[in-house]
Amino acid sequence: MREAAALYYLDDLTMEAVARRLGQSRSGVSRLLKAAREAGIVRIEVRDLSTVATLESQVEEAFDVKARVVHVREPLTDAERLDAVARFAARALADWFGDGMTLGVAWGTTVSAIITHLGDHPLTDATVVQLNGSVTPTMSGRALGAEQIGAIAEAFNATMIPFPVPAFFDFPRTRQMMWQERSVQQVLERQGDADLAVFGVGAIHSPVPSHVYASGYLDEPDRRTLAAQDVVGDVCTVFLRADGSWRDIAINTRASGPTPLELRRIPRRVAVVAAPAKSVALLAALRAGTITELVMDAGTARALLLEARRTVPRASVRAPGVTLR
């Protein structure tokens, strides 16, 4: 498959010429090329350069991040939008993640969608570390996050480092004591040493519910507290207000994920978002300085730019290096 693809796509030979070179029939070469595309050996991308390039440059200029906008044909359902962006992110992840690297992953709906499109891309001395806990009593011990991290590690033949702690502790003191355990400290150190982080952005109000809001991680008192504190979404299960502030939100003292300040220790931080309704939460994540690269569809990009023009953050909470023009 690889040889047929290289001859046809890179050396620009005709299908007949490839067939003669490989001793195959023309139909046999056609099947090889089709299989190569399905296996991820060949990637074909058709981009609406005028729309995509304009949106990418506008997002990069506004937020000082690298942007990749996925062109999707409107109208489409929310599930179809997520699937298209997740497919693009899965292909890109194979390029971002290389030998000897450590990848930090925050579990969630978007990461789950990305996993469905991951092929096998075996690496050497690579590691995948879970960024936030996922255990909750309602799941009877089943750790959703560990399953997702395990699937990614398997796709890349990488070492898996799970984070077997609750998504949210019942008491801040319990979290503080757990963080003193050597086994937990070792995971926290590996998180901070990651070369690359990949995560979605959760939103309180979204047509595609985030796992943290839809899977029993929050009880009704938690939800009322989030509403009272004007929370709009989360990154790695750390909640944010629309202006990007997070430090004084009470539930964050019980959260297992890295704070925006801790997340910024990772040099490359890629957020994958596929929902225009998440524009408020995404803008909050940008204002908190959690993102260096952004993968999203054109509709989400337009909604983000519109939301940024509509609102102005307080100067006191704007993250260093994040400029909103």
Stretch 227-240: mean pLDDT? 94
In angstroms and rounded to an integer, the radius of gyration of the C-alpha atoms of the chain is: 21
The chain-wide mean pLDDT, for the chain, equals 88
Window from 3-12, 38-47, 72-81, 171-180 with minimum mean pLDDT: 38-47
Per the CB < 8 A criterion, the answer to whether 162 and 130 are in contact is yes
Asked whether 298 and 72 are in contact (CB, 8 A), the reply is yes
Average pLDDT over residues 43-66: 84
Does residue 207 surpass a pLDDT of 80?
A: no
Highest mean pLDDT among 7-11, 292-296, 321-325: 292-296
pLDDT of 301 higher than 90? yes
Of the pLDDT bands very low, low, confident and very high (cuts 50, 70, 90), residue 314 is low
Q: What is the per-residue pLDDT for 140?
A: 42
Tens-place pLDDT, residues 93-110:
999 999 999 999 999 999
Residue 48 pLDDT > 70: no
pLDDT of residue 319: 44
Residue 313 confidence (pLDDT): 56
pLDDT at site 75? 80
Q: Could you count the other beta carbons within 10 Å of the beta carbon of residue 54? A: 14
